[in-house]
Amino acid sequence: DAKTTQPNSMESNEEEPVHLPCNHSTISGTDYIHWYRQLPSQGPEYVIHGLTSNVNNRMASLAIAEDRKSSTLILHRATLRDAAVYYCILFAGNMLTFGGGTRLMVKP
């Protein structure tokens, strides 16, 4: 299975943008890049996904490298409620395979 690599943790200041990186050098042409987040004591929550082009939604933006070997989740203005574990996942075969994720801490 194609794997993703994320930093274990990141810190951000409230109301500043956050760029969460993800490396997926073994991605195949049909793998979608998905991002989920998990707030404390809750189930994972979908954030965004894409295949080749950059994507924007109300929660975040996803920037995908031209060679697709890496991507970046962008939170435009971090709030305290964005403190969570963020998972970058390569979606293949109808299945999500979660890795360790990045724990985002937001400082007031």
Q: 58-61 long-range contacts, Cβ below 8 Å, gap at least 24?
A: 60/35
- CA-angle at 106, arms to 84 and 77, nearest 5°: 95
Residue of 32, 61, 63, 74 interacting with other proteins (CB under 8 A): 32
Residue of 8, 29, 40, 42 interacting with other proteins (CB under 8 A): 42
Binding of other proteins at residue 40 (CB under 8 A)? Answer: no
Residue of 25, 69, 77, 100 interacting with other proteins (CB under 8 A): 100
Chain positions 47 to 66 lying near other proteins, rule: CB under 8 A, are 49
Binding of other proteins at residue 7 (CB under 8 A)? Answer: no
- Rounded CA-CA distance 59/5 in Å is 22
Which residues, listed in sequence order, are joined to residue 20 by a DSSP beta bridge?
Answer: 73
